């Protein structure tokens, strides 16, 4: 792994990443891996994949969570905030612009053709990203077997996603105890970035951060309910997406 970048250098990178990360979570994760691990070498391979595994199990958008974690790993809390905000902001602005174009000119044949072509390109990006990350993450025949079994269970057997995750966790736990070599298990090294070390705190500071995060989450919903009524559109949207945020696992 190379030297840690300066905070200014990292800011430029996260802003650039926000503008070039197309293809949904799979494409975004592949771009982060290529840039952070392979090209810039700011983060080690094992650390990146280890973080990716956790983010895939967390509710919410795992690509944003992974970017936030990587920013935190490099420069602590300010790095995590910068990475998370700059990763999301360009996409939000682009979505606003594309929405305006679609509403205003979506029925124009040329514009409709462009949007249709984008669908095919995005699909190709996602497939390429899955293959790229898969080759890095699945390093043993057993891992490929578990991935294939999960795919069949989801696509053919229509097995609920939580059941597939629990099954994979059970297989990994038991297999790691009985036959660790087949799973390619390695002991993770300590955190390899000085920025994160300064961000590690006590249980009390962690609880304070958790309370602050919950307050920031609840504030817009409460404001919408107070000013527009609890049965109004904005409050109901807040309730709906708050529920979605805590039950959506597994990313794309």
Asked whether the whole model's pTM tops 0.85, one would answer no
Query: Which phi and psi angles does 223 have, rounded to 5°?
Result: -60, -40
pLDDT tens series, the chain, 252 aa: 567 789 999 999 999 988 887 767 877 888 888 889 989 999 988 889 888 888 887 887 888 999 999 999 899 889 999 999 999 898 888 888 878 877 777 666 776 777 777 777 777 777 777 787 777 778 788 888 888 998 899 888 888 877 888 888 888 888 878 877 777 666 555 555 444 544 455 678 778 888 988 998 899 999 999 999 999 999 999 999 888 887 776 555
* CA separation for the pair 126, 24 (Å, rounded): 7
| pLDDT value of position 222 | 93
* CA separation for the pair 107, 142 (Å, rounded): 50
Residue 38: other Cβ atoms inside 10 A: 11
| pLDDT value of position 80 | 92
| pLDDT value of position 92 | 85
Chain-centroid distance of CA 179 in Å reads: 30
CA dihedral in degrees (109, 111, 117, 121; nearest 10)? -170
DSSP 89-112: HHHHHHHHHHHHHHHHHTTSHHHH
- Nearest Cα to Cα of residue 22 among 119, 111, 104: 119
220 Cβ contact list (under 8 Å, min separation 6): 238
């Amino acid at each position: 792994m190379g030297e840690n970048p300066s905070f200014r250098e990292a800011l430029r990178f996260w802003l650039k990443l926000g503008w070039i990360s197309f293809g949904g979570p799979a494409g975004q994760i592949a771009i982060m891996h290529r840039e952070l691990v392979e090209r810039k070498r700011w983060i080690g391979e094992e650390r990146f994949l280890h973080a990716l595994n956790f983010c895939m199990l967390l509710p919410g958008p795992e690509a944003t969570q992974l970017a936030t974690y990587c920013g935190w790993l490099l420069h602590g809390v300010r790095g995590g905030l910068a990475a998370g905000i700059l990763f999301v902001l360009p996409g939000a602005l682009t979505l606003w612009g594309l929405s305006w174009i679609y509403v205003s000119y979506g029925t124009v044949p040329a514009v409709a053709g462009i949007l249709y072509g984008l669908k095919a390109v995005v699909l190709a990006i996602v497939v390429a990203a899955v293959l790229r990350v898969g080759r890095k993450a699945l390093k043993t025949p057993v891992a490929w077997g578990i991935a294939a079994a999960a795919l069949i269970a989801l696509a053919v057997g229509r097995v609920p996603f939580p059941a597939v995750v629990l099954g994979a966790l059970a297989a990994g736990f038991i297999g790691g105890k009985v036959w660790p070599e087949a799973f390619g298990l390695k002991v993770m090294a300590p955190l390899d970035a000085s920025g994160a070390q300064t961000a590690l705190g006590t249980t009390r500071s962690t609880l304070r951060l958790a309370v602050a995060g919950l307050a920031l989450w609840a504030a817009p919903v409460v404001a919408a309910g107070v000013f527009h009524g609890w049965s109004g559109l904005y409050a109901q949207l807040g309730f709906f997406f708050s529920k979605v945020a805590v039950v959506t696992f597994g990313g794309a």
